[in-house]
Amino acid sequence: MGFSRNIIITGGAGFIGSHVVRLFVNRYPGYRIVNVDKLTYAGNLANLKDIEGKPNYVFEKADICDFDAMLAIIRKYNADGIIHLAAESHVDRSIRDPFSFAGTNVMGTLSLLQAAMTAWEPLGWKISHTPGAAPVPCLFYHISTDEVYGALELTCPEGKKSGISGGMAYGDRLFTEETAYRPHSPYSASKAASDHFVRAFHDTYGMPVIVTNCSNNYGPYQFPEKLIPLFINNIRYGRPLPVYGNGENVRDWLYVEDHARAIDMIFHRGRPAETYNIGGFNEWKNIDLVRLLIRVVDRKLGRSEGCSDSLITFVPDRKGHDVRYAIDSRKLRRELGWTPSLQFEEGLEKTVDWYLSNQEWMDNVTSGDYMKYYEEMYNL
C-alpha cells in the first residue's frame, strides 16, 4: 500500500519511544512508522508486541552512530520525518561511563543529522510520496531533557500549589525555552551538545528542526533502573529502596502518554526552528514521592499502608546531584493547546497497576547481570 508519510522514530523500542511508536501506528494508519533501534539493554521489542503485526509498522535494527546505515534507511523508506529519541539517558551510568554517552548522544545525533541532510538537502527539504501530490516538508524532531538547563533553587521548601495544573511548586523560577544551558552531569552535557548540533544544522544548512525539552517521565515499560519502576519492584520483594542524600531533591513528573501526545502535536503543528518545553507543573521531593509510592504499592498488595517504609535506605548522594528541575510548558499550552491529562496520583495508580500486573515483563528485563549492577551502584 502507499503511505502519505514515512516517519522514522529512533529509540522506538525504549520507554518513551515505544509509547510514541504505538501512538503514531494506531492513530495514523496512512503513515508508515519505521522504528530504528539498536536494542541495547533498555531497548525491548516486547514493549511493542501489541502492534508488531500492523501493516504500517516496520522495525529496523541499527545503530544511529552508523552513518551509512542511517542514510540507507532514510532512502529506503523515503522518510520525510525523523523523531529522534534514541539516547543513553541514565545519569548514574553517565557518571560511570561518560564516553558511551558522548558516543551515542552526541556522535549518534550528528550521524543522524548528516544522513538526513545528505538525503533531504538535494530535494529542497521536501519529499514527494505520490506522483502529482504536493511534496511533504521534511522535519528533524529532536527530543531532549530539562536537565540541560542545570538546576533551580529550592526556595519553597514545603512546596505550594502551582496554580496551573493542581501540582506543587518548590520555587518561583521555572525552566523556560529561553533559559541558558548549564548542564552538570555527563548525561546532560551530552544532551546539551546534541541540542546544539540540531540547531546548528538549521542555522547552517537550513534543515527544518524542532527541539523539545521534557521533565521526568513515568509510566509502563520503563526500564527498572529508574526510580518508580525500580521501587515498585523492590517494595514487592522487600528489597532496599536506595534514596540519594536526604531525599530533598525535587523533580517535575509527567505521565509518558501525555509526553507522547505532546510529541504528536508538536510534530504535526509545531513551528520549525522552535523549542518547546514539556512538563507537568507537578513537582515532588524524592522522599515524598517514595513514601507515596510505598503507600500505593502496599495497599495494592494487600498490606497495611506504609509498612514498607522500613525499606527506605539513604545512600551517599549522587555526584553533582541537581537540587531541583521544573519546566514551564505554557508556550506549548498557548500555541498548541496541550496540557497534561492526568493528575499525578491518578497516573501513579495506573503505573503501579501496570507493573504489578506485568511481572513477567519485569522479570525478563531484570536479569542477574542487572541485579548485580543495581547492587554495585548503590553499595547494597
The secondary structure of 158-178, three-state, reads CCEECCCCCCEECCCCCECCC
Please classify residue 99 by burial: count the beta carbons closer than 10 Å to its beta carbon, then call 0-12 exposed, 13-18 middle and 19+ buried: exposed
Nearest to 325 by CA among 135, 196, 185, 220: 185
Whole-angstrom distance, CA of residue 170 vs CA of residue 156: 5
Residues with a catalytic annotation lie at 146-147, 187
5-10 and 31-37 beta bridge pairing: parallel
Whole-angstrom distance, CA of residue 315 vs CA of residue 262: 35
Neighbour-count burial for 40-72, b at 16+ CB within 10 Å, e otherwise: bebbbeebbeebeeeebbbbbebbbbbbebbbe
216-218 and 136-137 beta bridge pairing: unpaired
Please classify residue 85 by burial: count the beta carbons closer than 10 Å to its beta carbon, then call 0-12 exposed, 13-18 middle and 19+ buried: buried
Kindly report the length of the chain. Answer: 380
Tell me which DSSP letter residue 138 carries.
Answer: P
Nearest to 21 by CA among 185, 256, 180: 256
Phi-psi region of 26 (alpha: psi -120 to 50; beta: other; left: phi over 0): alpha
C-alpha cell at 362: 519485569
For cell 546548528, what's the residue? 200
Whole-angstrom distance, CA of residue 283 vs CA of residue 286: 9
Whole-angstrom distance, CA of residue 174 vs CA of residue 149: 10
What pLDDT tens digit does each residue of the chain (380 aa) get?
689 999 999 999 999 999 999 999 999 999 999 999 999 888 899 999 999 999 999 999 999 999 999 999 999 999 999 999 999 998 999 999 999 999 999 999 999 999 999 999 999 999 998 887 889 999 999 999 999 999 999 888 888 776 565 577 898 899 999 999 999 999 999 999 999 999 999 999 999 999 999 999 999 999 998 999 999 999 999 999 999 999 999 999 999 999 999 999 999 999 999 999 999 999 999 999 999 999 999 999 999 999 999 999 999 999 999 999 999 999 999 999 999 998 899 999 999 999 999 999 998 887 755 455 545 655 65
